[in-house]
Structure 1
């Protein structure tokens, strides 16, 4: 009985990535790292896997039994999890090494994170993040610096002012307002329901948020989400908070101060935002780059103070001609309690995270990242396959590589026509051809594929093209490296 074949399939929410996409990601990471180093942050790396208790339960997801993280037990029956962000592992690293680290400790990291969430279009369960954090200072100046660095990074990537915005709020103000309407620290579940409703403002609008603050909301698919069941007066205060934006930063802050009322932590949050705004003004960061915005909530539970979000403002047109927006491509905030989970002493911290996958999609499809395709290798065709001929072809490839030229010997079994198609798929700039006649003459035919593609669009007479073959020339065998270098140099200037 023939064994059944395994079906080739990948898990939902995960993606295969090919050369062009990896090139984009590498280019982005290099540019972002350049700005972060300019600000004095140093690179570091933490493992993909941590003890589950190290990560904590900050991603509640009722649709998954292990609450948003991929977890398993090791041989010692200890629970391990794939990291869901780069912040919790940093908190563990700092707590474990704080005696040897400067304070404040400034670092950046980038890598894969994993979330065991329900997969949806455009929502992956594995994605790239690029984080920068300052651990060991409670000064709002550290939060302000991250916002300014975020703005500088997006501009360095080629975005213009108006293409993006860094929007800033403070969780202390939100907590103070929730305290004023009767939701204290003992009502955590209800507070989270309210904050999640607020966080959906951009997606469902003010009326939708109002429904979630009340009895609940029925969405377009017919699914009903139970609400926080706040009384009408409390709902009105929360909605007023989301609409507290003024015509200037001063007006917005005055509105927030009035809404915070007698809450001590609410007034403290407003004071921190005023201090941050003074630093933005002093450094020349206007509202076209950084803006106080009460609608920013941030979904993670561990934030304790200023929170910020980076958003792309330009629209994209999808394959169906429908305009879409990328929206948030990063954010962060203050998480003063996260490191303290490992220490008897309070350790304040703040961080900013860029979602490389989302940012890459926005920059790539808008054309703001530049060309994504990497030039392929120079290809030496295998016209003859006897041992002597293959050795001669391999010598050509070796000479090209020693000269720093990316090159490849065709190792398949196809004929010349198929080899040329292979060269096109590999994005080869040129191919080297040496059959028995060329070998006897001591020459090699070099076919410039880039020039050939350009000239092909200008020639109407195919017979004339075949006779003249203007993109192909014969060179003496000892001159192949210089000839290829000349072709590559010409195309690099175009």
Structure 2
């Protein structure tokens, strides 16, 4: 048996593998996501929203959305049975837990209740490229206000949050509509079956991808896609489908202002009383957005937006990424939606029996971080590794540790190399860590009261311009020797230059 090998039969060893749809993430990705959460949280708190963290598990009957009528409620969610025989499930979003929390604590909460939350969510769905079973969301919601200004505030704050996360003003747009517009169309057309209406809404939600021809098929008998899969249609009456076609056509001009879009929708007709009420609510949202100086390019009215979740009852909104993105081979990638939300006035009523108005917005942190990276907007300099102190001798360990403490006490990320390799391997280690500098305190430096510091970024840049190994050794690019007392000052100067201005 070789050294450090466990006496285990090869056939009994588990295979090291990820569960499908669950990804390992290292420093760069995690730090980028945490930066997004931190900067967006600052926006939410400045707008008067308080943080809330609910547990990862909820009772399965409290989640409601994905759960089928089966003995094991594990379709769409990851569920387990507790020792009291109650089913629990990992939360699939941050809104359903908020509804439970609000119902449970409403008497003691400030009303309206304004909260933001971020954290992992889990969905027991088929994974695919860019589609994971665990991912991070960041939400903000107002519970207890039926005012359209509450929707407008959420929309405006979502835009500011996306800009804080790293998007320029012209790199995302929030599209707004209302579920009540389609409810009015269905009501006026005599469509009352909830399943039929939901099927039609899901078809309309594909309008930007399938165009009217594909949507018309899904509003009718059904559609066979390119892969050979058949999707059953909503089987709407022809008159209702024709009204929807005119309705969608009325919203096709991106050059229209928000108020002009509402006028065009009104002229299409067939909305019924509920649709007319929706237009009035959207007009009030527009008025509030104008008062908050939210531009027409930042937020547009687009009545084709319906959102997929069943619990939306009024205004709905979707953030679309406009930033050009490419994969690692330079091919164009379309991220599309990076977040969305809307009004859900019936969700808390599942617990209380009484309607409680609510509105909110959610965006996928991991998805936005991936989009920024695909657009070349990842802030690599902000995720650099620590300064590395090179180790030569066990006898000199007190000198290394003293220098390490000085750097850390000065607010500089630093680590002592704790392997047992030589200097060449240690420098390679520092390079792999993305370290801005390496600190060398060999016997000569300690005796002379000096320290040698390698500016690794400067060294890499200079080395690329030097022809030949002998010239590189002679010039020692990026290497300098200073008095021991100047260690912190010199390293801070290097790190600051690496990170850039704050």
What is the TM-score of this pair, normalised by structure 1? 0.92
Q: 1:228 aligns with which of 216, 225, 234?
A: 234
- Quote the Cα distance in structure 1 between the aligned partners of 2:331 and 2:462: 36
Partner of 1:15: 23
Show the counterpart of 1:337: 346
**Structure 1 residue 72: Cα displacement:** 1.0
Contact 2:182 2:271 in 1 (8 A): no
- Whole-Å separation in 1 of the counterparts to 2:147 and 2:58: 29
Q: CA deviation at 1:369?
A: 5.2
1:57 CA displacement:
2.1
Corresponding residue number in structure 1 for 2:154: 146
Which of 406, 415, 418 is matched with 1:411 structurally?
418
Conserved in 1, the CA contact under 8 Å of 2:176 and 2:315?
Answer: yes
* Residues in 2 aligned to 1:390 and 1:454: alpha-carbon distance in whole angstroms: 31
Mapped partners of 1:59, 1:358: distance in 2: 26
Which position in structure 1 is the counterpart of 2:3?
none
**Residue 393 of structure 1: aligned partner:** 400
In structure 2, the partner of 1:66 is: 74
Distance 1:382 1:354 in 2: 45
Task: Quote how far apart the aligned CAs of 1:296 are.
Answer: 0.1
Q: Deviations over 1:406-463 (max 9, x none)?
A: 2111111211111111010111222222334444444433222122112212322432
Note the 1:383-462 alignment, pairs <5 A. Answer: 383-384=392-393, 386=394, 388-462=395-469
Q: What residue is the counterpart of 1:307 in the other structure?
A: 316
Given candidates 194, 201, 204, the residue that maps to 1:195 is: 201
- CA distance 1:61–1:394, change in 2 (3 Å): farther
469-478 vs 84-93, which moves further: 469-478
CA contact (8 A) 2:185 2:271 kept: no
Deviation of 1:279 after TM superposition, in Å, equals 2.0
Corresponding position of 1:240: 246
For 1:486 and 1:152, the matched residues in 2 are separated by: 33
Q: Secondary structure at the match of 2:201?
A: helix
Change over 3 Å in CA distance of 1:461–1:321 after alignment to 2: closer
* Higher mean displacement: 214-223 or 467-476: 467-476
The equivalent of 1:81 in structure 2 is 89
The verdict on how the C-alpha distance between 1:433 and 1:371 changes in structure 2, with shifts beyond 3 A counting, is closer
Are the aligned partners of 1:106 and 1:134 in contact in 2 as well (CA < 8 Å)? yes
Query: Following the alignment from structure 1 to structure 2, what is the Cα–Cα distance between the partners of residues 488 and 470?
Result: 17
1:160, 1:290 → 2: CA distance?
14
After superposition, the Cα gap between the structure-2 partners of 1:286 and 1:473, relative to the gap in structure 1 and judged at 3 Å, is: closer
Asked whether the 8 Å contact 1:157–1:369 carries over to 2, the reply is: no
Q: Which moved more, 1:27-36 or 1:165-174?
A: 27-36
- 2 CA distance for matches of 1:165 and 1:118? 29
Alignment of 1:129 onto 2:141: no
| Aligned partner (choices 326, 334, 359) of residue 335 of structure 2 | 326
1:53-77 Cα offsets, whole Å, 9 max, x none, are 1111257899x97331111111111
Gaps of 5+ in 1: none
**Counterpart contact for 2:32–2:379, Cα < 8 Å:** no
Structure 1 residues 39 and 490, CA, compared in 2 at 3 Å: closer, same or farther?
closer
2:500 is aligned with 1:488: no
Q: Report if the CA contact (8 A) 1:215-1:226 is conserved.
A: yes
Q: CA deviation at 1:476?
A: 4.0
User: What SS does the aligned partner of 2:470 have?
Assistant: helix
The alpha carbon displacement at 1:348 in A equals: 0.9
How many matched pairs? 489
Deviations 1:90-111, CA, capped at 9 Å, x for gaps = 1111111111111111111111
**Structure 2 counterpart of 1:277, from 250, 273, 286:** 286
1:219 corresponds in structure 2 to 225
Kindly tell me: are residues 335 and 360 of structure 1, through their superposed partners in 2, closer, same or farther at Cα, counting changes over 3 Å? same
RMSD across aligned positions (CA): 2.4
Q: Relative to structure 2, which stretch is displaced further, 351-360 or 288-297?
A: 351-360
SS of 2:427 mapped into structure 1: helix
Deviates more, 1:175-184 or 1:294-303: 175-184
Q: Which residue of 1 aligns with 2:480?
A: 473
Describe the SS at the equivalent of 1:408: strand
> Partner residue of 2:175?
167
Q: Distance in 2 between matches of 1:178 and 1:66?
A: 33
Q: Any residues of structure 2 matched to 1:99-138 within 5 Å, and which?
A: 99-138=107-146
1:68/1:116 contact within 8 Å kept? yes
Q: What secondary structure does 2:77 align onto? A: coil
Q: Distance in 2 between matches of 1:462 and 1:172?
A: 72
Whether contact under 8 Å (1:339, 1:347) holds in the other structure is yes
C-alpha displacement at 1:335, in angstroms? Answer: 0.6
